[in-house]
Amino acid sequence: ALGTTTRAPAGKVPSKRFPGATRRVRTRCGVAPGKQDGCTASRRDALRLGALLAALSQIGSQAACGKDAATAVAQVEAEANSVLRAATSKEVAAIADGLSVVNKGKAPALLRLVFHDAGTYERSTGRGGSNGSVRFELDRPESRGLKRGLNVVEAVKKRIRAKSKVDLSYADLIVVLGAWAVKACGGPEIEVLLGRRDSSVADAENMIPDENLPVVGIKDAFSRMGLDTRDLVALSGSHALGGKGFGDPLTFDNEYYKTILKKPWLNKKDEMAQMIGIPSDRVLPGKPCPRTLETGSPFV
The 8-class DSSP code of residue 209 comes to P
Task: Tell me which of 44, 116, 135, 230 is the catalytic residue.
Answer: 116
How far CA 65 is from CA of 11, 203, 227, in Å, comes to: 19, 29, 11
Residue 116 known to be catalytic: yes
Residue type, 102: V
Scored b (16 or more CB within 10 A) or e, 151-172 reads ebbeebbebbeeebebebbbbb
Residue type, 91: E
CB 58 within 8 A of CB 196: no
CB 32 within 8 A of CB 25: yes
Can you give the pLDDT at residue 179? 94
Quick one: which of 78, 85, 90, 20 has its CA closest to 48? 20
How far CA 68 is from CA of 19, 20, 28, 229, in Å, comes to: 14, 16, 16, 17
Beta bridge partners of 5: 83
* Cα angle for residues 290, 292, 298 (degrees, 5° grid): 60
CB 2 within 8 A of CB 62: no
How far CA 204 is from CA of 135, 143, 201, 226, in Å, comes to: 13, 13, 9, 17
Tens-digit pLDDT string for the chain (300 aa): 333 333 333 333 333 333 333 333 333 333 223 333 333 334 443 344 444 544 454 433 233 333 333 344 334 433 443 578 999 999 999 999 999 999 999 999 999 999 999 999 999 998 999 999 999 999 999 999 999 999 999 999 999 999 999 999 999 999 999 999 999 999 888 889 999 999 999 999 999 999 999 989 999 999 999 999 988 988 898 898 987 889 899 998 889 999 999 999 999 999 889 899 999 999 988 755 444 444 445 666
Longest dimension (CA), the chain: 58
Helices and strands (H and E) in the chain: how many: 11, 0
Name the phi and psi angles at 8, rounded to 5: -95, 140
